[in-house]
Chains A and B, each alone.
Chain A
Amino acid sequence: MGTISSAFSIMSQALDADQEALNVVANNVANATTTGYTVETPTFEENSPVTIGGMSMGQGVTETGATSARNKVLEARLDQQQQLASSSGSRLTALNTLQALFTPDTGSSSSSAGDIGSDITNFFDSFTSLESLPTNNAARQSVLSTAGTLAGDISNAAASLNSQRTAIDQEAAGAPTQINALTSAIAQLNQQITTTSPNADAGTLEDQRQQDISQLSQLVGINQITSPNNGLAITTTSGQLLLSGNTSFQMTTGTVDGVTNFYLNNTNVTAGLTTGGGSLGGELTARDQDIPNALSSLDQLAYSISTTVNAQNNSGTDFDGNTGTAANPLNIFSQPDSVANSAINMSVVMTDPNQIAAAAAGAGTGDSANATAMAAMSGQTFVNGQTPINFYSNFVTTLGSTVSGVQTENTAQTASVTQLQTQNDTLSGVNLNDEASQMTTFERSYQAASQVFSTLNTIMASVLNLGEQSTVS
């Protein structure tokens, strides 16, 4: 083999390899928006050296196609789905606890929040009773009693939400210990793999690395970036570097506004981790979105009821002939200064039932016009433009809808993980014929399921739309 020929060969192969790499990159670009598509990495393979005149000459590289990444693509997809399933799973756990708090007591279970919906109805109904018996002490006691139950249940619900938030925060705060251990282990494996097996599959070491990546992706949302010599960098889904080659970056924690925040390289990455996936993402979503949203609704409800009812009571005349003043207000509930923390601080401050102003201002004690006005408040839209009971009902309905949505996502993602895990287990080490058979099963399953869905959808549409006939032939 001549020298010039060898040189041309090396150059020619380098160009070919570049071209193949470009093809793979072009393919990536073309598929960038395809759901579930994972970017391929072109793989170069060193050719055997050529000996010329006693000197060993390199033979360049050959692109072996992107198929060396075959299992890695599937594993990356599996990791991606696992981190989504972990995230929705941990969020769902928190949401179920949250929802149980607002589920009325049954024979077998009880909620620390009681039944706020019934409490609201009972409270305003007590004014209806007072309306007909304005001088009756029992009717007045009933108003304070139902007010106490309402305030107690709202306050207890808020306290339970705060406790749940604290518990989730503590659990999340423990995640960096596990994350750091895994990123350190993966960095060490990177070092070993790039040293011992830069151009080929590193066998057991790669298996170990994959297992650690899989565990890491269940904890936190990650992106994987392959680098030369079988190296690997891992970032959070928001792009913060967790490890690169043999260097790992430790995640640290700090407290901001009473909750744990997470840092990488002195950058606060909490927001990115919340939306990023993994069990930590799910916990942070519950801690920073779901629970605060629920608390915010309760605060709004408590604030509106307390301020509006107090204002109405102060506008009437109590059993002793007094009207509320700034110095001596006739407040039934503690008067909140702002919406925030209204729920947890809600309580009944009135101890004397005679201070309930059933009569209109200036009217005698036998009058009940103000009690009528307070009873009528149950139908007035003073809580964010809604009646109190509708506001609460909508809050519970929205919460139920959120739980249902997350449940659906979690079921679908878990199904996806099951499918991919089965494929991953089945395809490793099988020949092309077995692989084709597996693909056929996959395609048959999808097609049959599509047919099931399509037919059921038609049936449902048919029976739910005024009995119109199905269009399915």
Chain B
Amino acid sequence: MRELNERRVRPELKQLVVEASRALAQLDADRLEELAQSCQALNRELERSDRDARGVFAAEAIEARGDMAVFARVLEVTRANLNVMTRLRDLRMEQLEYGGRHANRWGETESKHGDN
């Protein structure tokens, strides 16, 4: 009965992991932040839990292992994609910088030669 009550108030680990992978694929930051809070709450619950409850957690953890592997890979490709996007942003910023520098340099060259 106690196990049933616990299951009623929180999602199973497997559902949580699958949901996290899906939210990450869609870059749903709000949902991921909610899930992060849920996970912290779950961790606190685990720290307070007795042996029986830990048994339930363990069963869920075994069931969710495959989905965790998927989540880990999605996280890995996301990091790679984020690196690419960060590089692109840097390039865009550099473009603005280059444009300004060339304009200034052109002015300096002209004035130093005194041809104006």
- Chain A residues proximal to chain B, CB less than 8 Å: 1-2, 4-5, 8-9, 12-13, 16, 20, 31, 34-38, 40, 62-67, 69-70, 73-74, 77, 81, 404, 407-409, 411-416, 418-420, 422-423, 432, 435-436, 439, 441-446, 448-453, 455-460, 462-464, 467, 469-470, 472
Cross-interface CB contact of B32 among A63, A449, A458, cutoff 8 Å: A449
Cross-interface CB contact of B39 among A16, A70, A455, cutoff 8 Å: A455
B36 contacts A73, C-beta separation under 8 Å: no
B69 contacts A467, C-beta separation under 8 Å: no
A130 smallest CB distance to B (angstroms): 42
- 5 smallest A-B Cβ distances: which pairs? A36-B80, A415-B25, A412-B73, A448-B32, A67-B95
Instruction: Write out the residue numbers on chain B whose beta carbons fall within 8 Å of the beta carbon of A462.
Output: 46
Q: Is the interface of A mostly helix, strand, loop or mixed?
A: helix
Per-residue 0/1 for B69-106: is the Cβ within 8 Å of any A Cβ (1 yes, 0 no)? 11111111111111111111101101101110010011
Question: Given known contacts A67-B92, A77-B81, is B57 in contact with A452 (CB within 8 Å)?
Answer: no
B107 smallest CB distance to A (angstroms): 11
A432 contacts B92, C-beta separation under 8 Å: yes
B3 within 8 A of A: no
B115 contacts A422, C-beta separation under 8 Å: no
B44 smallest CB distance to A (angstroms): 9
B42 smallest CB distance to A (angstroms): 6
Cross-interface CB contact of A31 among B26, B85, B87, cutoff 8 Å: B87
A419 contacts B32, C-beta separation under 8 Å: no
B115 contacts A2, C-beta separation under 8 Å: yes
B84 contacts A65, C-beta separation under 8 Å: no
A451 contacts B78, C-beta separation under 8 Å: no
B74 contacts A63, C-beta separation under 8 Å: no
A460 contacts B61, C-beta separation under 8 Å: yes
- Chain B residues proximal to chain A, CB less than 8 Å: 13, 16-17, 20-21, 23-29, 32-33, 35-36, 39-40, 42-43, 46-47, 51, 54, 57-58, 61-62, 64-66, 68-89, 91-92, 94-95, 97-99, 102, 105-106, 109-110, 113, 115
B98 contacts A65, C-beta separation under 8 Å: yes
Instruction: Write out the residue numbers on chain A whose beta carbons fall within 8 Å of the beta carbon of B25.
Output: 414-415, 418-419
21 residue pairs of the A-B complex, CB under 8 angstroms, read A5-B115, A8-B109, A16-B102, A16-B105, A65-B97, A65-B99, A67-B92, A73-B87, A412-B76, A436-B89, A442-B81, A442-B82, A449-B23, A449-B24, A449-B74, A450-B75, A451-B39, A452-B36, A458-B43, A459-B43, A463-B58
B83 contacts A448, C-beta separation under 8 Å: no
B27 contacts A5, C-beta separation under 8 Å: no
Give CA–CA (A12, B108) in the complex, Å: 12
B24 contacts A455, C-beta separation under 8 Å: no
B36 contacts A448, C-beta separation under 8 Å: yes
Instruction: Write out the residue numbers on chain B whose beta carbons fall within 8 Å of the beta carbon of A64.
Output: 95, 98-99
Instruction: Write out the residue numbers on chain B whose beta carbons fall within 8 Å of the beta carbon of A420.
Output: 81
A460 contacts B74, C-beta separation under 8 Å: no
Instruction: Write out the residue numbers on chain B whose beta carbons fall within 8 Å of the beta carbon of A5.
Output: 109-110, 113, 115
Instruction: Write out the residue numbers on chain B whose beta carbons fall within 8 Å of the beta carbon of A412.
Output: 70, 73-74, 76-77
Cross-interface CB contact of B69 among A31, A408, A423, cutoff 8 Å: A408
Give CA–CA (A436, B89) in the complex, Å: 8
Give CA–CA (A441, B61) in the complex, Å: 30
A80 smallest CB distance to B (angstroms): 10
A470 contacts B47, C-beta separation under 8 Å: yes
B81 contacts A36, C-beta separation under 8 Å: yes
Cross-interface CB contact of A415 among B24, B47, B58, B115, cutoff 8 Å: B24
Give CA–CA (A5, B16) in the complex, Å: 68
B94 contacts A415, C-beta separation under 8 Å: no
A435 contacts B92, C-beta separation under 8 Å: yes
Question: Given known contacts A8-B113, A412-B70, is B81 in contact with A455 (CB within 8 Å)?
Answer: no
B77 contacts A413, C-beta separation under 8 Å: yes
- The residue in chain B whose Cβ has the minimal distance to the Cβ of A3 is B115
B33 contacts A416, C-beta separation under 8 Å: no
A441 contacts B27, C-beta separation under 8 Å: yes
B26 contacts A460, C-beta separation under 8 Å: no
Question: Given known contacts A70-B92, A411-B21, A460-B13, is B98 in contact with A20 (CB within 8 Å)?
Answer: yes
Instruction: Write out the residue numbers on chain B whose beta carbons fall within 8 Å of the beta carbon of A411.
Output: 21, 70, 73-74
Most A CB contacts (10 A, CB to CB) among B74, B83, B109 go to B74
Give CA–CA (A42, B26) in the complex, Å: 32
- The residue in chain A whose Cβ has the minimal distance to the Cβ of B51 is A467
